């Protein structure tokens, strides 16, 4: 999900002009990235609920220690890698799984094939980000397999916007985090986990819900191969979003389908106070969040597997250790 108004807490690394543009831009959609202006840092809290190590517990590879988690999830005053697409990819449908809308009714504005093409473009974009992260992770180690201290130090926060290059740990985290953003948005922006409002007729303002479990097989990003179009459920839709007036006229719109806002406990993933009509229907906000949490954990497990596949067992496991540990030069 993305919003155009709130991206103002970027810190000193972002110039004043982009900040001013962000403030002046019209509101948009997505799980929230910051904790103000109607957002509740939903992306951050989902990521923390999925990937945080228990307090005081060293990582075993399945979770991230606090400082490393800050880089992925963000914290007060930063977006983190998972929020990066809401700073510089806000108008890219593929980064947020938008515009794959479809409704099985005569005369609908898009065919099933057109909607599927848009969805597969999102999957392909996220696969590319995932692969970028795997490639960058290799640079966290020296030729002899030892941890490259300069490439893994987190004395300063990573920068995840506008293509600014950084340390290899930061680059690896960025690829992974940008992939996570789109995966999490899929559950908010689509009807994968949804139920329609039973008190209203189904249609473009109340599309059918698929009520399917997570993780979705469509987002197996580590395999490198896009899903077959035949794997896309016939009734799957995401919302159409456009800044052009009437740009989504007659189509399933983002505003009618999204579950973008609400409260998410960053420790347990428990939810409350859904903020959209679709999110308030039949527990849809909670199902979208739980789907995003589940798939976020799947993505990290697949990322670890991809590291081993790419670099071999010893080097791949050490690279995963580097990404999850706050002082990898000492602990990995």
Is the pLDDT at 292 greater than 60? The verdict is: yes
At residue 30 the predicted structure's pLDDT band, cuts being 50, 70 and 90, is low
Statement: the pTM of the whole predicted model exceeds 0.95: no
The count of other CB atoms within 10 Å of the CB of residue 143 is 6
Please report where in the chains the tokens 């606090």 appear, as a residue: 66
In a domain, 229, yes or no: yes
What confidence score (pLDDT) does residue 10 get?
25
Instruction: Say which residues have a Cβ less than 8 Å from residue 282's Cβ, sequence separation at least 6.
Output: 194, 195, 196, 197, 198, 209
- The span from the CA of 49 to the CA of 238, in Å, is 25
208: burial class by Cβ within 10 Å (0-12, 13-18, 19+)?
middle
User: Which distant-in-sequence residues (6+ apart) come within 8 Å of 194 by Cβ?
Assistant: 209, 210, 211, 257, 259, 278, 281, 282, 284, 287, 288
Task: Answer yes or no: are the C-beta atoms of 118 and 100 closer than 8 Å.
Answer: yes
Spatial CA neighbour of 6 closest among 92, 21, 276: 21
Q: What is the pLDDT averaged over residues 175-204?
A: 98
Asked if residues 106 and 114 have their Cβ atoms less than 8 Å apart, the reply is no
Lowest mean pLDDT among 21-25, 149-153, 299-303: 21-25
* Residue 242 belongs to a domain: yes
Q: What is the mean pLDDT of residues 173-190?
A: 98
Q: What is the pLDDT of residue 26?
A: 34
Instruction: Tell whether 60 is covered by a domain.
Output: yes
Average pLDDT, the chain: 90
State the CB neighbour count (10 A cutoff) for residue 144: 5
Q: What pLDDT does 225 receive?
A: 87
pLDDT band of residue 163 (cuts 50, 70, 90) is confident
Domain presence at residue 46:
yes
Rounded to 5 degrees, φ, ψ at 48 are -65, -45
Residue 154, pLDDT > 50, answer yes
Choice between 37 and 159, residue whose per-residue pLDDT is larger: 159
Q: How far is CA 88 from the centre of its chain?
A: 14
CB 65 within 8 A of CB 326: yes
| pLDDT reported for residue 300 | 98
Which residues form the domain of 192?
11-331
Number of domains forming the structure of the chain = 1
3 falls within a domain: no
> Is there a domain that residue 113 lies in?
yes
- Position 6 in a domain: no
308 found inside a domain = yes
């Amino acid at each position: 999900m993305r919003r155009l108004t709130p991206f103002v807490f970027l810190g000193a690394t972002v110039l004043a002009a982009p900040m001013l543009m962000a403030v002046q831009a019209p509101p948009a959609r997505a799980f929230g990235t910051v904790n103000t202006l109607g957002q509740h840092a939903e992306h951050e809290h989902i990521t923390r609920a999925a990937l945080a190590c228990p307090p005081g517990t060293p990582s075993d590879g399945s979770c991230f220690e606090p400082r490393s988690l800050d880089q992925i999830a963000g914290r007060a005053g930063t977006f983190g890698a998972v929020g990066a697409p809401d700073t510089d990819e806000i108008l890219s449908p593929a980064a947020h799984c938008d515009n794959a809308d479809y409704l099985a009714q005569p005369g609908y504005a898009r065919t099933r094939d057109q909607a599927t093409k848009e969805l597969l473009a999102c999957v392909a974009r996220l696969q590319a980000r995932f692969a970028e992260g795997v490639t960058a992770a290799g640079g966290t180690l020296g030729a002899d397999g030892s941890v490259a201290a300069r490439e893994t130090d987190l004395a300063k926060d990573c920068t995840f916007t506008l293509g600014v290059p950084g340390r290899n740990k930061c680059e690896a985290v960025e690829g992974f985090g940008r992939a996570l953003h789109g995966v999490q948005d899929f559950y908010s922006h689509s009807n994968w986990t949804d139920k329609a409002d039973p008190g209203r007729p189904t249609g473009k303002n109340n599309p059918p819900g698929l009520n399917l479990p997570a993780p979705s097989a469509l987002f197996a990003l580590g395999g490198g191969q896009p899903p077959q179009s035949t794997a896309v459920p016939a009734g799957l839709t995401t919302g159409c979003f456009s800044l052009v007036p009437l740009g989504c006229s007659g189509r399933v719109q983002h505003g009618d389908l999204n579950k973008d806002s609400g409260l998410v406990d960053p420790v347990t993933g428990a939810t409350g106070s859904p903020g959209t009509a679709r999110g308030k229907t039949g527990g849809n906000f909670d199902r979208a969040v739980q789907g995003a949490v589940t798939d976020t954990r799947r993505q990290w497990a697949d990322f670890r597997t991809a590291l081993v596949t790419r670099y071999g067992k010893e080097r791949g496991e050490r690279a995963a250790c580097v990404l999850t540990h706050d002082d990898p030069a000492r602990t990995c």
